[in-house]
């Protein structure tokens, strides 16, 4: 049985959160704000932002077909990942399970919070086997982190295996869908009402082309989102980010176009890299990057750096021997990469 209270750190469950001036005021139209020790000058930046980002969440709610109370917004999805540890995991006592290889911040946040991170190697197809993940869990396992499409491998994880984990694990399951927009698979975001233990992460940093403004999202049932709101910094999303996020969310057609172009470029770049003599294998991808195995990844990487082209060297990562991770850029950037690779000796 899933029991949220038993999963939450007792001090967090009991926490009386900070109540900001703008939290306490709500209701009637007001015109004179003398409650928050703000300056009367330099409007609008003199004012604290909305602590719950209500307008922005309304817009996201419509777009993602999720109720505003089921949305947490953070300073990148990295903030949401860190909050998961601070809400659910007691330092020095609890543990989390994650897959390997995957996005590095799950383990870094575990280390920062002094939480053991039990890593389960993916199989040779870079996929999960749910039984192996469930096997390493014990009564102190609070969270399982999954990432689909996975970084750095680029593939989506088997949905039957994920379902098995959601059904059988009584702790929290975080599914990081940072690259979901580039995939043709059904999104886990649409399943949050079915699973009380599911948290899905999205971000504006990838398909929405806004890594610089730092806006990440967590979607879950209302009681979990209420815990995020309790623990987060009161004004964690600044006015400039809220404004820029609203602007980019209004450009949905541009975004769809950019996603389409990225997927087209992905197809042709992967094909062309696969044709190179120096390339051993290109792995399937449903993200805006792909993993490729080279005959000598380090020398290809160094050569590209000398040409002013930076890719990600993943050759030291488990299961990724001799692999580089290549982000899909603009057509010009991709051409520059290809012509450099074709001249590599």
Which residues lie near ligand PMP (CB under 6 A)?
A: 76-78, 103, 147, 151, 176, 178, 203, 205, 211, 216
Give the nearer residue to ligand PMP in terms of CB position, either 36 or 240.
Answer: 240
CA–CA gap between residue 98 and residue 113 (Å, rounded) = 15
Give the nearer residue to ligand PMP in terms of CB position, either 156 or 205.
Answer: 205
CA-angle at 158, arms to 175 and 87, nearest 5°: 20
Q: From the CB of 120, what's the least distance to ligand PMP, in Å? A: 17
Q: From the CB of 103, what's the least distance to ligand PMP, in Å? A: 4
CA–CA gap between residue 36 and residue 51 (Å, rounded) = 13
CB atoms within 10 A of CB 141: 21
Q: From the CB of 332, what's the least distance to ligand PMP, in Å? A: 23
Q: Looking up tokens 């932002």, which residue turns up?
A: 49
> Whose CB is nearest to ligand PMP?
76
Rama region for 154: left / alpha / beta (φ>0; ψ in -120 to 50; rest): left
CB atoms within 10 A of CB 107: 17
The string of DSSP letters for 236-265 reads -S-HHHHHHHHHHHT-HHHHHHHHHHHHHH
Q: From the CB of 31, what's the least distance to ligand PMP, in Å? A: 36
Q: From the CB of 100, what's the least distance to ligand PMP, in Å? A: 14
Q: From the CB of 203, what's the least distance to ligand PMP, in Å? A: 3
Give the nearer residue to ligand PMP in terms of CB position, either 78 or 181.
Answer: 78
* Size (the chain), residues: 345
Q: From the CB of 296, what's the least distance to ligand PMP, in Å? A: 26
Give the nearer residue to ligand PMP in terms of CB position, either 208 or 341.
Answer: 208
Tokens at 168, concatenated: 């059988």
SS3 assignment for 212-236: HHCCEEEECCHHHHHHHHHHCCCCC
Q: Is 153 helix (H, G, I), strand (E, B) or coil?
A: coil
Residue among 136, 133, 203, 143 nearest 173 (CA): 143
Give the nearer residue to ligand PMP in terms of CB position, either 205 or 236.
Answer: 205
Give the nearer residue to ligand PMP in terms of CB position, either 176 or 286.
Answer: 176
Q: Are strands 312-313 and 323-327 parallel, antiparallel or unpaired?
A: antiparallel
Give the nearer residue to ligand PMP in terms of CB position, either 78 or 286.
Answer: 78
Q: Is 267 helix (H, G, I), strand (E, B) or coil?
A: helix
């Amino acid at each position: 049985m899933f029991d949220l209270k038993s999963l939450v750190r007792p001090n967090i469950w009991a926490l009386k959160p900070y109540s900001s001036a703008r939290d306490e005021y709500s209701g009637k139209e007001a015109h004179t704000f003398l409650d928050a020790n703000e300056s009367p000058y330099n409007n609008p930046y003199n004012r604290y932002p909305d602590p719950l980002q209500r307008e922005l969440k309304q817009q996201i709610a419509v777009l993602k077909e999720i109720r505003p109370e089921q949305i947490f917004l953070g300073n990148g999805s990295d903030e949401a990942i860190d909050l998961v540890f601070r809400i659910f995991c007691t330092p020095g006592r609890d543990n989390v399970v994650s897959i390997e290889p995957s996005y590095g911040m799950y383990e870094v946040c575990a280390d920062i919070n002094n939480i053991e991170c039990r890593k389960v190697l993916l199989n040779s197809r870079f996929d999960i086997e749910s039984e192996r993940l469930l096997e390493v869990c014990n009564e102190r396992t609070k969270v399982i982190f999954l990432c689909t499409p996975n970084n750095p491998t680029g593939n989506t994880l088997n949905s039957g295996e994920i379902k098995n984990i959601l059904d059988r694990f009584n702790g929290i399951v975080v599914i990081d869908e940072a690259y979901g927009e580039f995939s043709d698979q059904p999104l886990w975001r649409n399943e949050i009402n079915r699973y009380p233990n599911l948290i899905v992460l999205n971000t504006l940093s990838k398909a929405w082309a806004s890594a610089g403004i730092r806006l990440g999202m967590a979607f879950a049932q209302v009681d979990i989102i209420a815990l995020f709101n309790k623990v987060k910094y009161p004004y964690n999303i600044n006015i400039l980010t809220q404004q820029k996020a609203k602007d980019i969310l209004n450009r949905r057609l541009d975004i769809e176009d950019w996603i389409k172009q990225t997927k087209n470029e992905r197809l042709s770049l992967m094909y062309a890299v696969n044709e190179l003599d120096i390339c051993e294998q290109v792995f399937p991808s449903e993200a805006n990057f792909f993993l490729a195995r080279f005959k000598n990844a380090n020398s290809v990487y160094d050569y590209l750096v000398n040409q002013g082209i930076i890719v990600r060297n993943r050759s030291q990562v488990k299961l990724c021997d001799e692999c580089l991770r290549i982000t899909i850029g603009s057509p010009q950037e991709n051409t520059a990469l290809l012509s450099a690779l074709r001249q590599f000796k």
